[in-house]
Structure 1
Amino acid sequence: MTVATIASELAAHPSILGKLDISGATRALGLTGASVGQPGDDAAALPRPEGGWDLFAAEAFIPAFVADDPWFAGWCGVMVNLSDIAAMGGRAVAITDMLWAPDAAAAAPVLEGMLAASQAYGVPIVGGHTNLRAPALNLSVAVTGRAQALISSFAARPGDLLIAAIDLRGAWRPRFDNWFAAADAPAARLRGDLALLAELAEAGLVRAGKDISQGGIAGTSLMLGECSGCGFEIDLDRLPMPPVTDVARWLRAFPSFGFLLSVSPSAANEVCARFADRGLAASVIGHATSGTAIDLVQGDARATFWDWQARPYLALGRGQPVQEAHHA
């Protein structure tokens, strides 16, 4: 598959286009990138009087995904929220869940998945909402956390190096583009891996980044670039990825542990080494540019995946007339 074909297929894929739905809700709520908590980041960051930040994030899940793989959906309800907190340089404090199901039997595997993840990551579920008389299975989960130093979606700068850090010790879940690397991992490893993001932020090694979420490396780099007012060039030959994996699928995949970090060139080697020390794959996959496009390159071939100035994605970048906000 050519680079141009990969770029065009990604730009038309539902996992990328789904983020465009955000604008309706944010317009109705009157939210902008200047609203309290700076919507557009992986979690709302609220300054604490004594220093640091309170963090708050929430996720809702595609009903078809919850119905197809309810235990894994429950696990993901916890996991992706904890990833959002880590992506901000924070540590999670507590989780609440909102669950709708036709009956207790339908709800059971979702609750089992949430409980398993809560115990594995050591973050308690402290309450929520349950309805066992709903017409279908639906799930939403929220999390609180705290940070002493922030990793921001708005802080990447031209000249930064773009690092992808991903746990490759996993396998694909059926049907959807989900790479699950936490199934058999010891709890101590899972907790230590997430804690590394806060350690990097507090050491001043990382100032900008996002967790790799729905939309994969491609969509996440687009959100990071647009929020920061820059572009990215991504070298497909430098992606850390499992063997015998289709590049196009990997660029849109949702890994259970994955982050894109925009760092100064002087910090890149140490950042990659700290992930490697924990058995996590991390490599420089490109760099931030002064443009507005996410360009994919492979050898001499080059293609633009998306230009956020020509086609706004979240419309939350620095200096933009903001009309949309993103519940990351």
Structure 2
Amino acid sequence: MDGADAPRRVISVATLAATLAAHPHVTGKRDIDVACGALGLDQQSPGRPGDDAAAIPDGDGWQLMATEGFMNEFVASAPWFAGWCAIMVNMSDILAMGGRPAAVTNALWAPDIATAKEILRGMKEASEAYGIPIVGGHTNLRTDRPQLAAAIWGRARALITSFDARPGDVLIAAADRRGAYAGDSNNFPAFLNAPHARLRGDMDILPMLAEDGLVTAGKDISQGGIAGTALMLAECSGVGITIDPAKVTTPDGDLARWMTAFPSFGFLLTAKPETAPSVLARFHARGIGAEIIGTVTPGSSLRLTDGSGEYTVWDHAVSPYLGLAPIKDTANA
């Protein structure tokens, strides 16, 4: 079900803005600020923290590196799904940068062989589905609980970054809505029962958008959902973003849930108004939902609008989100 015709649950835009500002999926991204502060990292550090993957210049392109770790409770309750996500989530980080994934390694801890095998089964099946080889890692089967992390390498000929959205750009949400939520969670695994050839074909969209110069910036829609991802993009680019919730298509009519959902294939992209139709067409040609849901504005606030008023979700100048806003040139201020 695409969700275009799903009846909406009624919620005011003001209430939605307040709900998103306090949602744990949105506020959870604040942890990144702690790590960056402890390591002394900013936007100008090697690899440019704030992007979905570190980009290292390499000849006529960039080597890309990213890593993901998973909550112990998640790995224990859904070991196969966690294994699949170790490939899928890392892959999305590479695609969001305009890159193509090359290989994955993992770090696995488990209390027994049976638990480890179920996690590894998920990783193996995802590796085969997406065509991304697992080339090694770390294994320990003598711990008191299952834990999982994975790292990925890729390469890009042209980059999509988190730093180049500019006022006047439009904001595009693209997500595969063919599927359903995983139980009561906010995870939306559109990959279930999807043909592997289709999944691999979808992986070409982002690199080709980058190489054709059709987008100005972007990020994959992560655990923070559309709301948290838009806020990260706004802060990294040093801009504001205004979203019209009426333009956000949901899979089931629950807007608040979808705004904080983690789709298995979902991206926020900015583009010039004149190139936006071409961007939308690339996703639509693959059967993937994509629509313009907002605009990039001057300022520092993520806001929602109902057409008559605007409601602030977060002002990253007042309350840093990732702590990775552009560094001001005080010499020329």
TM-score (norm 1): 0.95
Q: Which runs of 4+ in 1 moved over 6 A?
A: none
Partner of 1:155: 164
Is 1:130 paired with 2:142? no
Quick one: which amino acid aligns to residue 206 of structure 1? V
CA shift for structure 1 position 33: 1.6
Distance 2:257 2:307 in 1: 20
- 1:256 aligned partner: 264
Residue aligning to 2:228:
219
Cα distance in 1 for residues equivalent to 2:219 and 2:203:
13
User: In 1, Cα distance between the equivalents of 2:37 and 2:327?
Assistant: 19
CA drift of 1:26 comes to 2.3
In structure 1, the partner of 2:239 is 230
Q: Distance in 1 between matches of 2:145 and 2:12?
A: 41
More deviation, 230-239/18-27: 18-27
Aligned partners of 2:33 and 2:163: how far apart in 1? 19
Residue 193 (structure 1) aligns with: 202
1:256-303 per-residue CA deviation (whole Å, 9 max, x = no partner) reads 000000001110001001110000001100110001111112243431
2:312 maps to what in 1?
A: 304
State whether structure 2 residue 3 is matched by structure 1 residue 7. no
CA drift of 1:63 comes to: 1.5
Secondary structure of 2:101 counterpart: strand
Provide the aligned C-alpha RMSD in A: 1.2
Provide the rounded CA distance (Å) in 2 between the counterparts of 1:193 and 1:41: 21
Contact 2:36 2:323 in 1 (8 A): no
Q: Alignment length, in residue pairs?
A: 319
Contact 1:3 1:301 in 2 (8 A): no
CA spacing shift, 1:74–1:320, aligned 2, 3 Å:
farther
Whether the aligned pair in 2 keeps the contact of 1:56 and 1:143 (CA below 8 Å) is yes
Q: 1:309, 1:202 → 2: CA distance?
A: 32
Aligned amino acid, residue 196 of structure 1: I
Alignment check: 8 A CA contact 1:166 1:240 kept: no
The secondary structure found in structure 2 opposite 1:172 is coil
Separation in structure 1 between the aligned mates of residue 16 and residue 142 of structure 2, nearest angstrom: 44
Which sections of structure 1, spanning at least 5 residues, go unmatched? 322-328
1:280 aligns with 2:317: no
Give me the whole-angstrom Cα distance separating, in 2, the residues matched to 1:140 and 1:94. Answer: 14
Range 143-152 or range 99-108, more displaced: 99-108
Provide the C-alpha distance between the structure 2 equivalents of 1:246 and 1:310, rounded to a whole number of angstroms.
30
Amino acid of the structure 2 residue aligned with 1:176 = S
- Inter-partner Cα distance in structure 1 for 2:294 and 2:174: 13
- Structure 1 CA distance, aligned partners of 2:25 and 2:222? 10
- Residue aligning to 1:36: 46
2:203, 2:325 → 1: CA distance? 27
| Correspondence for 2:248 | 239
Q: Which residue of 2 aligns with 1:96?
A: 105
Aligned to 2:273: 265
* 1:8 CA displacement: 1.1
| Letter paired with 1:81 | N
Verify the 8 A CA contact 1:71 1:109 in the aligned structure 2: yes
In 2, are the aligned partners of 1:96 and 1:125 still within 8 Å (CA)? yes
Q: 5+ unaligned residues in a row in structure 2: which ranges? A: 1-10
Question: How far off its partner does 1:30 sit?
Answer: 2.5
Which aligned pairs between 1:53-72 and structure 2 lie closer than 5 A?
A: 53-72=62-81
Q: Distance in 1 between matches of 2:236 and 2:306?
A: 25
Alpha-carbon distance in structure 2 between the residues aligned to 1:319 and 1:46: 20
In 2: Cα distance, 1:5 partner to 1:64 partner = 30
Contact 1:232 1:288 in 2 (8 A): yes
